[in-house]
Structure 1
Amino acid sequence: MTLVSGWGRFPVVDTEMLRPRAFAAVADAVVSGTVARGNGRAYGDAAIGAVRIVAMTGFDRIRWFDPATGRIRLEAGVLLSDLIETFGPRGFLPFVLPGTRFVSIGGAIAADVHGKNHHCEGGFGRYVDSILLRTGEGELIEASREQNSDAFFATIGGMGLTGVILEATLRLRKVETGWIRERVISASDLDAAMRALDAGDAATYSVAWIDCAARGKDLGRSLIYLGEHAGEDELPAGAAAFPAGKHPGLGVPIDLPSMTLNRFGIRAFNELYYRMGARRAGGSHVVSLYPYFFPLDSLADWNRIYGKRGFLQHQCVIPENVARDVLGEILGRVARRGDASFLAVLKKLGEGEGILSFPLPGYTLALDFPVRGDILNFLDEIDRLVVAAGGRLYLAKDARQSRETLEAGYPALPRFNAIRKALDPAGNIRSKLSQRLFDEV
């Protein structure tokens, strides 16, 4: 048995971990209470089996690539970082780049991960053509929009609960360079931030860092980052068309004391970060894709900043028509509480691809909180605001929401459950997340 957690390091669970090396062995590994796990970047308990984990990172081969169309067939354990570093210099990148490049392709499909371009280009699942799935019954099926379509749309965003993803066929984007033309906008409050994001709808990429410690007239002040793929003629003198991908250098060697993230330190950091960003506002700059899409990847084991008890990320999406008031209320409560993270992000989303995909048209807010004090009760209060607004929480980040919150936020849940039951009538595929939120009790 092995102690395992998600990236948030909460909860920590004692479970069995198997590392099969052949697809045939995956079927033998699936017993009651099994779920697949990629690179462990789901924050909560989604990739922790109720009894057993099937680790998939050993399945990391690329089957074929067609440079004429950008289509690629690859195993589910391939990391997004490997895909970027292998095909970026050839002029191809994934259409969707989430906040970390160290996620597996299987995990990206299971969570239907989104990036800074969801408002105009959708999520990861939109660029998946087909999936090779091992069901809980041991059946091997190819699922696509035309073939086994129920299984296909349930698997995209289905958090690994339809079976084990073995392979997938994706479409990649043709690019000239690995650089982004970035424009920074300084927003003095939440209204200005939302106006800037709305005005940036035509931009391919848009995201806001939001100061969740700001209060009063400064509530919701933000830095908005708009981006487009840069052409070769826009690069700095002497720059290679595709920058080298640096693996994390410095890291966090120990679990920091819980007092490290206090309201005074967070407030001071946010003040400095906002002022530095505001100085860059107005013009455009060409930056490498790595700091633009993956700012935290440069610091290894950054999750240890929150201490040995771990942290919780609360990521919600609020429908556009009520977003301003609800986000203002959430941010006001967080600012008064005083212990939210410096890693707060606001983005716009469009429609999701899968039956249980997180996105819906509106604004998504992601906040990190150290596990301490009455944080679980506080987040229950925030959940009630989200549910009342017609929003929902992201399952890939969740470690503690209630069944009632899930059911209120995901009206297609009965359809998903019926497809899951048809694929796995014995209920072999079960995770700690599904035990908490889906499975019969």
Structure 2
Amino acid sequence: MPGTDTGDITKQVGIPAQRTPETAAESSVPVGEPVSAAVPSRPRSGAGIRAAWPALVLYATLRATGLITFWLVATDKHRDIWAQLSRWDARWYLGVVAHGYDTAFKFRPDGTPLPSNLAFFPLYPGLIWVTDHVLPGDAVVAGLVVSWLAAIAAAWGLFAIGTELRDRRTGVLLAALWAVIPHALIESMGYTETLFTALCAWSLFAVLRRRWLLAGLLCSFAGLTRPTGAALVAAVGLAALVAVIMRRDGWRPWIGGLLAPAGFLSYVFWVGDRLGGGINGYFRVQSETWNMAYDNGAYTLSTAGKLLTGKNDLAMVMCTIVLLIAIMLFVPLTAERRAWPLAVFALIIIAMAFFGDAYYHSKGRLLIPAFPLLLPAAAALAKAHLRTVIGVLVGLGTISAVYGVYLLLFWVHSP
């Protein structure tokens, strides 16, 4: 809209106005500064629900649009929407809820091991079990409820981080961009991506606010959610170590740093004990029953190369594009001085996706929790005119909705 300034834009769309340079400077205290300057006596209103509602409404609206698009196409094809949203990994989690974890490897007649549900971390199925005993319906409904509520919590956490590092408008747009990434439909499935992202976002927000005990506790829960919780453990642990070395915040970073790996290590040790193979037990589950390991990137590079010369499946091409964009977005993220713990987290997530030597078609999904990569884009979009913001969100939302339909209704493998 020509001639419209930023203040007019924010009034029209209900997005809070940007902070002034003075107020931004007041809240830009890096991790490691004196606690009296970094942690106020009460939480900033920017992270509260009253400030976050535009982000939550916009996120929910964008995701609802993608979900409705999927529902219309699925109905036309006589496919049950609830069954589609609870396929693949969701079925494994529901199996854990119904039957518990395996006690040993199971084998095919030829002697090769069958996939084991011990590869799936316990927090999400545990929450499904609790929710199923509280709400009407079955475990499928409970799983989707947990995932959807976690998605709102994640969007709130993204808003809080964007507001903390930049301004409230950036926070709103950070949540909105996460709603329209290509693999965003998975955020509405019975998967762990939303729960994991919510825990990571709030743990990293706690790091930025130097609330070390909360950061470590949330990191521990994230470590009980996905194996990529190791990325958050590294980010939180390194931030706590820096605070300890700089002799900031007393004993709190010590405790926060010790809490951070507790969840991840607890499950890894538990699996090893259950299988009688020590700490290596969980990694045997990954490598022997799921054929998942890490190499020097040769698998990713060779598969990407074949896409240029051979038959191209849309899912494989999209994962390649998403991986390349993620790598490119990491560069401007490193310019955010206060965001270095987020950059560490995002870099390890990218590395785990890039160096994984199996399931190329799932690499895009593995990058869903790497939300810090969207921060520079959200900050740039926050400075744009309203028509640009609308155009970007509509365009990305359309791509996300169409690709989501393809991913669940036409692609024959897991997303």
Same topology, TM > 0.5:
no
Structure (1/2) with the larger strand percentage: 1
TM-score using structure 2 length: 0.25
TM-score using structure 1 length: 0.23
Structure (1/2) with the larger helix percentage: 2
